[in-house]
Amino acid sequence: MPSPHSSVLVVDDESSLRKALRTSLTASGFDVEEARSGEEALGSVQQHQFDLVLLDVSMPGMSGIDACRRIRGISPQAGIVMVTVRDQEDDKVRALEAGADDYVTKPFKLRELTARLRAVLRRTRMSDAVEPVVLRAGNLEMDLHERILRRNGEEIHLSPKEFDLLAFMMKNAGAPLTHVKLLRTVWGVEYGNELEYLRSYVRMLRKKIESDPSNPEYILTEPWLGYRFRDPSDPDSPRESAQDD
Amino acid sequence: MRDDELRACRSVAGGKLVIGDLDMGQQYLHGFAKSARYALIGSIAAILLAFSCFRIHLDFASVIPLYLLLVVFQSLTGDFRSSAVVAFVSTACLDLFFTEPLFSLRIDHPLNALALAGFILTSLVITRLVARVREEAKSAKLQKERLNRLYQLSQQLLVLDPEAPLGEDFLEPFRRLFGIRAMCIFEADSAEFHLVGDSKGELAVKTRDTYIRGTDVDDFNAHVSVRRLRTSGHLAGAIGFEGLEDPKETAGALTALTAALLERKIAFHTASAAAAAAQTEIYRSAMLDALAHEFKTPLATILAGVGGLREAGPLTAEQEGMADTVENEASRLGSLTSRLLRTARLDNEHIRPRLEVVDVTSVVAQLTKQYSTRSSDRAILLADGHEQVQALADPELIRLMLSQLIDNACKYSRPGSVVTIGVERQGEFVAIRVSNNGSSIPRKERKRIFERFYRGEDAKHSTSGSGLGLYVARKIALAHGGALDLEIDDRSERVTFCLKLPTTKDELQHALTA
């Protein structure tokens, strides 16, 4: 459950959806405020400090992407979750590039939405804390100082790049990571289009850490966008990402 | 070309335009009669000159320039044959009346013989030169007139709407400017005739026959000339003229002009069709975006509402079940909307699969599980003995395509029947077969089932659909270098869609996983 003070600003031009979300999120323990447009949302963010902003991508007037970029400027610590409607990955990539922490695709189940909101909230709060030396997820334990990965206590050999890639993913557990972001962070700024490169590393990592690499539970594929590291012990991290069908 | 022009000029030497469709024999006779007439007049003038000069006792040296003048005048008619005759008659007159012995063709003095020889030679040269100059002037004039008329014609045709269909507006200027009795264009694409004027020589039939036979026709008796029309290097039809002057000279130019204008018409049509297609694509994309928004926002509201009910208070088991149903059905409708919209987008896009190594068997297993939990009145089973096969494919597109096939199998099979999905390696391909019983597809429809917007006769009445699903599914398969085929066992009424995808080659897979 979120802390009693977790506040959410719901930005959508559809009044019925805003109303349904206000009722449901309030029932789920959030303090909900509404805004009808990007412009109105900017005004609200300037006046109040929100923990989370749920922002529709396609709205008349200022687009959700523009609003996201400007909210990020005004309120850097707020967690932003974009609501996308298109199945194209472009919107999702643009949202993440504009500073969104995560996205949900319409139509979404309330449980899925609250799980995303809580995960984002936790990540934004964690980023203020001191970075831990040992990362844990499910059966995995990564010692960043010693550069050692253990699975069920057994050491697993990783190449330096595999280690860096997995470390970056584990540090951002639960967050969607675009191909470009992974390539640039782990390989360097001159990378960005070498998808096959990234895919082959992910394949190798899955072989080493997953019990069934063809049905992964740690490194999930975000279709046409990138990957998301999942901590199986986190109740807010469902295995099935918000895919169609 | 020059000889042709000269011949044409000769035929107008009488000052009256000769109808070009007289045949060669008639033309020759006509020219000969005219030359004879001129020769007779010139010869009489030469004899009269001889008598006159003889009477006033002019000597040989004084008379020669007068005869030269006569020959020059004669050659101004532009007719070489008559001028040559007059030159010879003049020589004879000079010999008879002005050289010794008089009244005899004999020449005593060698100097006189030389002078006469000089005279005849000079007159023939003058005659030839003058005739040629006249001929060329006439030819140039004719050519200029023809060019002028062609220019006027092209001017008049260019102001017509390039996209208007061929018709009287297009043909009338030809008739007016070239004095054609009738004119016909046969368009091969539409098999349409466009005829103006009053044809007496079955012009339309001859025009079409020219297209069919593929050779140009000149029928001088019927005064009909027909030429093939070519556009962009292809035979596009034929154009026929009845009563055209100088068909040999003019028909080619008129045909070339018509072909150029038809080419222009096609170019305009292509350009406007492309512009219309681009515009349609913009509307279509905007409409799909709007549809996505319009459909999914209410669904999101329903889901948020149901979630809220659950959160608001403890529900009874029955209420919880109802909430689950609403939630699942709304999610399913959302997925279906996504898939339909994606299919509609892929329909017009050039599909570029994002290839990666995909474990086909596990994708199929996941989908089978998903559909079997969802479908209560049909069993969806994974066939026995499926093997683990990997393919180089776009996993999202493969999921979309297989969902389409499984949906179709459910839609067109009887309730309670079994839909099976099998995975099998076949050489360099992996074959995924989705089969169902009990809705055989009529033979005549089998070939057309993958066509865009095609829907079977039965399907049209019994089930809903857009006619896009299989078309897009095959498009995706082809974009992967694979195939999607229909296999029907008529005896057991078993319908199978077989999707083939290239498996990962060992070396490629090695390179990807290295």
A90 touches chain B (CB under 8 A): no
Q: Is the pLDDT of residue B5 over 60?
A: no
Q: Chain B: which residues have CB within 8 Å of chain A?
A: 289, 292-293, 296-308, 310-312, 327, 330-331, 333-335, 338-339, 341-342, 354, 356-357, 359, 361-362, 366-367, 370, 395-396, 399, 403, 512-514
Task: Tell me whether residues A245 and B342 touch, CB distance under 8 A.
Answer: no
- Low-confidence stretches of chain A (pLDDT beneath 50): 1-2, 241-245
Q: Is the pLDDT of residue B112 over 70?
A: yes
Contacts of A200 in chain B (CB under 8 A): 512-514
Testing the interface with A: which of B291, B295, B299, B301 to mutate, by most A Cβ within 10 A? B301
- pLDDT tens profile B66-95: 988 888 888 887 788 888 899 999 999 988
Mean pLDDT across chain B: 82
- pLDDT tens profile B494-512: 888 999 988 876 545 544 4
Residue B238: the pLDDT is: 93
User: In terms of CA atoms, which chain B residue is nearest residue A28?
Assistant: B311
Q: Is the pLDDT of residue B281 over 70?
A: yes
Q: How far is it, in rounded angstroms, from Cα B34 to Cα B15?
A: 11
Contacts of B403 in chain A (CB under 8 A): 245
Q: Is the pLDDT of residue B354 over 60?
A: yes
Which sequence spans correspond to the domains of chain B? Answer: 2-154, 162-266, 275-347, 351-513
- Residue in B169, B479, B189 with CA at minimum distance from that of residue B355: B479
State the pLDDT confidence band at B462, using cuts at 50, 70 and 90: low
Within 13 A of B420's CA, how many CA atoms are on the CB side? 11
Distances (CA, A) of A10 to A3, A15, A25: 18, 11, 10
Testing the interface with A: which of B306, B311, B339 to mutate, by most A Cβ within 10 A? B311
Residue B23: the pLDDT is: 54
State the pLDDT confidence band at B127, using cuts at 50, 70 and 90: confident
Of B307, B334, B338, the CB nearest to A24: B307
Give the residues across from B399 on adjacent strands: none
Q: Is the dihedral of CA B399, B403, B405, B406 positive or negative?
A: positive
Residue A60 makes CB contacts below 8 A (sequence gap 6+) with A13, A37
User: In terms of CA atoms, which chain B residue is nearest residue A91?
Assistant: B289
Residue B19: the pLDDT is: 39
* Nearest CA distance, A237 vs chain B (angstrom): 18
Task: Tell me whether residues A86 and B330 touch, CB distance under 8 A.
Answer: no
Residue B134: the pLDDT is: 83
Of A17, A24, A224, the CB nearest to B311: A24
Residue A100: the pLDDT is: 93
Task: Tell me whether residues A106 and B310 touch, CB distance under 8 A.
Answer: no
State which amino acid sits at residue A96: L
Of A20, A83, A107, the CB nearest to B334: A107
Residue A70: the pLDDT is: 93
Testing the interface with A: which of B285, B289, B297 to mutate, by most A Cβ within 10 A? B297
Alpha-carbon torsion, ordered A124, A125, A126, A130, to 10 deg: 120
Residue B60: the pLDDT is: 85
State the pLDDT confidence band at B24, using cuts at 50, 70 and 90: low
Contacts of B330 in chain A (CB under 8 A): 107
Rounded to 10 deg, the angle between the A160-171 and A195-209 helix axes is: 80
Angle value at C-alpha A158, between A157 and A160, nearest 5 degrees:
135
Testing the interface with A: which of B285, B291, B303 to mutate, by most A Cβ within 10 A? B303
Task: Tell me whether residues B514 and A108 touch, CB distance under 8 A.
Answer: no
A87 touches chain B (CB under 8 A): yes
DSSP B174-186: HHHHHT-SEEEEE
Q: Span B22-34, mean pLDDT?
A: 73
Which sequence spans correspond to the domains of chain A? Answer: 7-126, 134-229
Local structure of A152: helix, strand or coil: coil
Local structure of B488: helix, strand or coil: strand
Task: Tell me whether residues B356 and A86 touch, CB distance under 8 A.
Answer: no
- Assign a CATH topology to domain B162-266: Beta-Lactamase (3.30.450)
Residue B45: the pLDDT is: 92
Whose tokens are 């009529």? That residue is B442
Whose tokens are 């012995």? That residue is B101
Task: Tell me whether residues A87 and B399 touch, CB distance under 8 A.
Answer: no
- pLDDT tens profile B405-448: 988 888 888 778 888 999 988 888 889 999 888 666 777 777 77
Residues in chain B: 514
Contacts of A211 in chain B (CB under 8 A): none
Residue B345 makes CB contacts below 8 A (sequence gap 6+) with B285, B288
Whose tokens are 């892929």? That residue is B346
Task: Tell me whether residues A109 and B359 touch, CB distance under 8 A.
Answer: no
A193 touches chain B (CB under 8 A): no
Residue B8: the pLDDT is: 39
Residue A25: the pLDDT is: 92
Task: Tell me whether residues B297 and A221 touch, CB distance under 8 A.
Answer: no
Task: Tell me whether residues B354 and A195 touch, CB distance under 8 A.
Answer: yes
Task: Tell me whether residues A20 and B304 touch, CB distance under 8 A.
Answer: yes
Residue B458: the pLDDT is: 65
Q: How far is it, in rounded angstroms, from Cα B412 to Cα B367?
A: 19
Task: Tell me whether residues B303 and A16 touch, CB distance under 8 A.
Answer: no
- Residue in B343, B396, B513 with CA at minimum distance from that of residue A224: B396
Which helix H or strand E contains B305, and what residues bound it? helix B247-312
Distances (CA, A) of B184 to A30, B177, B201, B203, B204: 82, 16, 12, 7, 6
Q: What is the 3-state secondary structure (H, E, C) of B100-125?
A: CCCCCCCCCCHHHHHHHHHHHHHHHH
State the pLDDT confidence band at B131, using cuts at 50, 70 and 90: confident
Task: Tell me whether residues B367 and A85 touch, CB distance under 8 A.
Answer: no
Contacts of A204 in chain B (CB under 8 A): 513
Residue A199's φ and ψ, nearest 5 degrees, are -60, -40
Q: Span B381-400, mean pLDDT?
A: 82
Whose tokens are 């990957």? That residue is A227
Testing the interface with B: which of A178, A203, A245 to mutate, by most B Cβ within 10 A? A245
ipTM for this model: 0.77
* Nearest CA distance, A14 vs chain B (angstrom): 8
Q: How far is it, in rounded angstroms, from Cα B169 to Cα B196?
A: 10
Task: Tell me whether residues A110 and B311 touch, CB distance under 8 A.
Answer: yes
CATH architecture of A7-126: 3-Layer(aba) Sandwich (3.40)
Task: Tell me whether residues B304 and A87 touch, CB distance under 8 A.
Answer: no
Contact B71, B38 (CB under 8 A): no
Q: How far is it, in rounded angstroms, from Cα B345 to Cα B13?
A: 73
- pLDDT tens profile B370-381: 888 777 778 888
Q: How far is it, in rounded angstroms, from Cα B511 to Cα A82?
A: 37
User: In terms of CA atoms, which chain A residue is nearest residue B336?
Assistant: A245
Contact B243, B223 (CB under 8 A): yes
* Nearest CA distance, A129 vs chain B (angstrom): 31
Contact B497, B431 (CB under 8 A): no
Contact A109, B307 (CB under 8 A): yes
Residue B246's φ and ψ, nearest 5 degrees, are 45, 60
Residue B511: the pLDDT is: 47
Of A28, A215, A244, the CB nearest to B362: A215
Distances (CA, A) of B33 to B13, B27, B30, B79, B82: 12, 10, 5, 12, 10
Residue B335: the pLDDT is: 81
Residue A169: the pLDDT is: 94
CATH architecture of A134-229: Orthogonal Bundle (1.10)
- Residue in A102, A57, A52, A98 with CA at minimum distance from that of residue A78: A52
State which amino acid sits at residue A46: Q
Q: Is the pLDDT of residue B293 over 60?
A: yes
Contacts of A159 in chain B (CB under 8 A): none
Q: Is the pLDDT of residue B384 over 70?
A: yes
Neighbour-count burial of A205, counting CB atoms closer than 10 A to its CB (0-12 exposed, 13-18 middle, 19+ buried): buried
Task: Tell me whether residues A86 and B299 touch, CB distance under 8 A.
Answer: no
How many A/B residue pairs have CB atoms within 8 Å?
107
Which tokens in the block code for residue B211? Answer: 């297209």
Contact B303, A110 (CB under 8 A): yes
CATH of domain B351-513: 3.30.565.10
Local structure of A226: helix, strand or coil: strand
- pLDDT tens profile B176-229: 888 899 999 998 888 888 899 888 878 988 998 898 888 898 888 888 999 999
Within 10 angstroms of residue A48's Cβ, the number of other Cβ atoms is: 11
Task: Tell me whether residues A107 and B342 touch, CB distance under 8 A.
Answer: no
Q: pTM of the predicted model, to two decimals?
A: 0.58
Distances (CA, A) of A79 to A32, A51, A177, A199, A229: 14, 6, 16, 29, 18
Q: Span B306-320, mean pLDDT?
A: 86
Give the residues across from B484 on adjacent strands: B499
A63 touches chain B (CB under 8 A): no
Q: What is the 3-state secondary structure (H, E, C) of B52-102?
A: HHHHCCCCHHHHHHHHHHHHHHHHCCCCHHHHHHHHHHHHHHHHHHHCCCC
Q: How far is it, in rounded angstroms, from Cα B161 to Cα B171?
A: 14
User: In terms of CA atoms, which chain A residue is nearest residue B401?
Assistant: A245
Within 13 A of B483's CA, how many CA atoms are on the CB side? 8
